[in-house]
Every structure is written in C-alpha cells, then in structure tokens.
Amino acid sequence: MKDSAERVRARIWSAIRKIPRGRVATYGQIAALAGIPGQPRRVSQALRSAPGGSGLPWQRVVSAGGVLGLARYDPIAGFEQRMRLEQEGVRFGRGGRVPLAEFGWKAPNPIRRPASKKSSRSKKSSR
DNA sequence: ACTGGGGCTAACC
DNA sequence: GGGTTAGCCCCAG
C-alpha cells in the first residue's frame, strides 16, 4: 500500500494548518509534527506542490532561525509571505527574520513516530 | 539505474 | 555577523 508520498503530504498539510494565527513554525518542526522528523525538505516539497487557495497557511512556515527561505528563489512570494505574517501580527527583527522565541509556535501535541517499516535508522552523523 | 535538485539544517570558517 | 560545506531524504526526469 502506498502510504508514502500522499499520506505524508497530507499529514504535513494537516500539521501546517494547526499553526495558530500570528505564529510561525520551522520546516523541521512541521516535519517532526508530521511524523517525519529530520526531513524538513520533505515539507518544502509538499509545500511547493501545495494547492493554491487551499486555505493552507503556508506563510507560517519558515526556515530555521525564522528566515523566510522562500524569498530566496522567489522574492515576490517572499514579500507576500512577509506581508501576510505582519498582517497576522508577526513582527520581524533585523535581517527580516522572525524572532522565534516570541512568535515560534510550541506544538501542543507530542510527536508521533510511525516507525519506519524498513528499519529504524538512527543515523548518527557526527557533524 | 543514475543524476540533479529542492521554500532545509547544522557545523565550519 | 555572514558565506561555504556537508549531510539528509525523496521526487522527477
């Protein structure tokens, strides 16, 4: 059964929808919340293919440190994101970053890990 | 099967 | 404070 792509994507969107107004969450945070900790890029991909007008608060998803990663490849969209966030009451710090300590969302629910069916890889790369 | 790339991250310099 | 390098995992061509 294909629980991979679509299933995960749905969970990602679901997690994003839970972000309260006026708050932001990082890709990593969303990933963890969606049950795929350590895979923030998966979130970004799911977000890119996210349906427009789906009511998905994509603007509340930011990169680590409160940076608007979207603006990097699409300045226009980045601007829109910032505008939307400010409209929700999110203030930006210097460098156009969002102070996560203040606007970062604390996920109310514990992370649920759906144990990989293959193997529990606890890859430990000593960075 | 391989390669390149993605709205990422953390460690390094 | 910023720029670069190296991992990560998955998807599309």
Buried b / exposed e across A54-80, counting CB within 10 Å, b at 16+? Answer: eebbbbbbbbeebbbbbbeeeeeebee
What's the rounded mean pLDDT across residues A19-38?
Answer: 90
In Å, what is the CA distance from A39 to each residue of A28, A31, A44, A67, A123?
7, 6, 9, 18, 13
Residue A34 binned pLDDT confidence (cut-offs 50, 70, 90): confident
Strand partners, A16: none
Percent of chain A with pLDDT over 70: 77
Mean pLDDT of chain A: 80
- Give the span between the Cα atoms of A50 and A6, in whole angstroms: 11
Residue A26 Cβ < 7 Å to strand B? yes
Q: What are phi and psi of A25, to 5 degrees?
A: -135, 150
Residue A6 binned pLDDT confidence (cut-offs 50, 70, 90): confident
- A71 nearest nucleotide via C1' and CA: B7
With a cut of 90, say whether residue A71 has pLDDT above it: no
Distance A38 CA to C8 C1' (A): 8
With a cut of 80, say whether residue A5 has pLDDT above it: no
pLDDT at A56: 87
pLDDT at A121: 43
pLDDT at A9: 86
Please tell me the pTM assigned to this model.
Answer: 0.83
Distance A51 CA to C8 C1' (A): 26
Selection from A44, A4, A31 nearest residue A112 by Cα: A31
Structure tokens that stand for A120 in this block: 């529990």
Residue A57 Cβ < 7 Å to strand B? no
Distance A64 CA to B10 C1' (A): 10
Cβ proximity of A35 and A11 under 8 Å: yes
